[in-house]
Structure 1
Amino acid sequence: MSFLRKILAVTAFLAFSATAIMHTGSAQAADPENTVILTLKDGDVAIELRPDLAPKHVEQIKKLVRDGAYNGVVFHRVIEGFMAQTGDVQYGNADKDYQPGRAGTGGSSYGNLPAEFSKQPFIRGTVGMARSQAPDSANSQFFIMFDEGAFLNGQYTVVGEVVSGMEVVDKIKKGSKSANGSVDNPDRIVKAIVLADRK
């Protein structure tokens, strides 16, 4: 092996090692208490919650996850190239008292939350809190971005980001464009857990 090839081989090895260390470090740095796993029909989606951006919203989502409130809840509004919305624990649970005509209008018994808007942009994989026209009306519903949506920046609370499983999110059944993303026979969250609770 020539001297130049040896140098290239060593350089490639060092680059690979640095990448492996960075990935290992980031995996160890993940906070299980602020990671939610959504099991969907095509696999798991890991969401890193951001208490640094929206502590009240993160706390409410974790309470609902630990209550089992999101289990069985449908993705009632899914728009190709935009986002998939879910989390209506009142009217959107396909396993109990499902009301398709009202899904998307309900919330939880914990009450609405004051907005926690930030400068964090809405990009592919961002998880934001759904709300009505009133800024302080987010409750249990959230959405996952399929693509960038700068028009949402500073107008909706960013609560987290997908850190693995976006290919699963991409497979969520899409809704009708003419009906603002409303989905017939929608996909659902099979189960949601906080990673720290996984046994």
Structure 2
Amino acid sequence: MTRRLFLAQALAAPTLLSGLASAHAQAIRLPAGLDAENTLVIELKDGPVIIRLRPDLAPKHVERIKVLARQGFYNGIVFHRVIEGFMAQTGDPQGTGMGGSQLPNVPAEFSREPFVRGTLGMARSQSPNSANSQFFICFAESSFLNGQYTVFGQVVQGMDLVDKIKRGDPRANGTVSAPPDRMVRVRIASDIR
């Protein structure tokens, strides 16, 4: 049985809303068997991406993502590093890949869960215990990350929308030919009314 959730349009600047299907509430279907409290909904310009969070693998990281989503931290944040055939990275309010939230870093929760297409992992610096707010979504299998980065979720619906995220890395040459794509709104499914 599929549960129906209704997402209100993002209450953000009109430029963030351009490209969304309509000015009316957008209906999405939450796949059967998902726990709404551990389901993340990332609204992109082309529609919603549904992610099953994995507190069984990374309880501290999942809790961090949920806290930041509930604070509205991720709303409007750009995908600052998007590499064809690899991943799309976001979660930095500065949009440079150097920023994070005001919360303390989260210690590593590495697991044996492999990085496959649609896996969400926490970005970090060289220190394994430096994850904060940045994360990435894999476009393809990335086994070289296995056991070195924390897996905290998996896309279960909307991977075709993730595939449409504009490629680029503003840090590569200091300029971007077109504005990067962004997360319009990020919420926990149980909070959507």
TM-score range, shorter chain: 0.7 to 0.9
1:4 maps to what in 2? none
Runs ≥4 in structure 1, deviation > 3 angstroms? none
1:12 maps to what in 2? none
Quote how far apart the aligned CAs of 1:176 are.
5.3
Q: Distance in 2 between matches of 1:110 and 1:178?
A: 24
2:186 maps to what in 1? 192
Counterpart residue type for residue 185 of structure 1: P
TM-score norm. by structure 1 comes to 0.78
For the pair 1:105 / 2:109, whether they are aligned, the reply is: no
TM-score norm. by structure 2 comes to 0.80
Q: Distance in 2 between matches of 1:73 and 1:176?
A: 15
What is the RMSD computed on CA atoms of the aligned residues? 2.2
Larger proportion of strand:
2
Alignment of 1:151-190 (within 5 A): 151-175=144-168, 179=172, 184-190=178-184
- Alpha carbons of structure 1 residues 175 and 109: separation in structure 2 relative to 1, 3 Å: same
Q: Is 1:79–1:177's contact at 8 Å kept on the other side of the alignment?
A: no
**Cα deviations by residue, 1:160-189 (Å, 9 ceiling, x for unpaired):** 000000000000000159929x85510000
The equivalent position to 2:121 in structure 1, one of 121, 125, 128, is 128
Alignment of 1:78-97 (within 5 A): 78-89=82-93, 91-92=94-95
For structure 1, which runs of at least 5 residues remain unmatched after alignment?
1-20, 93-102
For the pair 1:66 / 2:60, whether they are aligned, the reply is: no
Larger proportion of helix:
1
Structure 1 or 2, whichever has the larger Rg, is: 1
For structure 2, which runs of at least 5 residues remain unmatched after alignment?
4-29
The equivalent position to 2:80 in structure 1, one of 73, 76, 80, is 76
Q: Is 2:117–2:139's contact at 8 Å kept on the other side of the alignment?
A: yes
SS of 2:48's equivalent in the other structure is: strand
